[in-house]
Homo-oligomer: A and B are copies of this chain.
Amino acid sequence: MSQKRTTPLEAPSIRKHQCTVDIRLEKLGMVPFFWNLDREILQPINNEFSASHFHAGQPIYYEGEKATMLRVVVYGAVKLIRQTEEGKEIMVDMLKPGEYFGNLNELGDDTYSETATAQSDACIMSIGNREFRSLLNMYPSIAVAVLDVTTKKLNSARQQIHHLTTLSVKKRIAHILKELCGKFGEESKVGMLLQLPLSRKDLADLAGTSTETASRVMSRFQQDGLITSGRQWVAITDINALSEVVSSN
Contact surface of A with B, Cβ cutoff 8 Å: 82, 84-85, 88, 90, 92, 104-105, 113, 133, 136-141, 143-144, 146-148, 150-151, 153-155, 157-162, 164-166, 205, 207-208, 247
A113 CB contact (under 8 Å) in B105, B136, B144, B159: B159
Contact of A144 among B136, B148, B151, B153 (CB under 8 A): B136
Point out the residue from B82, B88, B140 that lies within 8 Å of A137, measured CB to CB: B140
- Given A137-B140, A137-B141, A155-B113, A90 and B147 contact (CB-CB distance below 8 Å): no
**Between-chain CB contacts (< 8 Å), 7 pairs:** A88-B166, A113-B155, A136-B143, A138-B140, A153-B154, A157-B157, A157-B161
Which secondary structure characterizes the binding site on chain A?
Answer: helix
Contact between chains at B159 and A161 (CB < 8 Å): no
Which residues does chain B contribute within 8 Å of A147, judged by CB atoms?
Answer: 104, 136, 143, 146-147, 150
Q: Give A79 Cβ to nearest chain B Cβ, in Å.
A: 15
Q: What chain B residues lie within 8 Å of A85 (beta carbons)? A: 166, 247
In the assembled complex, which residues on chain B have CB atoms less than 8 Å from the CB atom of A247? 85
Residues of B within 8 A of A158 (CB): 92, 113, 157
Q: Which residues of B contact A166 (CB under 8 A)?
A: 84-85, 88, 90, 208
Q: Which residue of B lies closest to A247 (CB)?
A: B85
A155–chain B nearest beta-carbon distance, Å: 7
B residues within 8 A CB of A84? 166
A208 CA to B208 CA in the complex, in Å? 12
Which B residues lie within 8 Å of A164 (CB)?
Answer: 161, 164-165, 208
Give chain B nearest CB distance to A116 CB in angstroms.
14
CB closest residue in chain B, given A88: B166
- Which B residues lie within 8 Å of A207 (CB)? 165
Provide the bound-state CA to CA distance between A207 and B205, in Å.
18
With A133-B144, A150-B150 given, name 16 new contacts (CB 8 A).
Answer: A82-B162, A88-B166, A90-B165, A92-B162, A104-B147, A105-B151, A136-B144, A139-B140, A143-B143, A143-B147, A154-B154, A154-B157, A157-B157, A160-B161, A161-B161, A165-B205
Q: How far does the alpha carbon of A22 sit from the alpha carbon of B139 in the complex, in Å?
A: 33
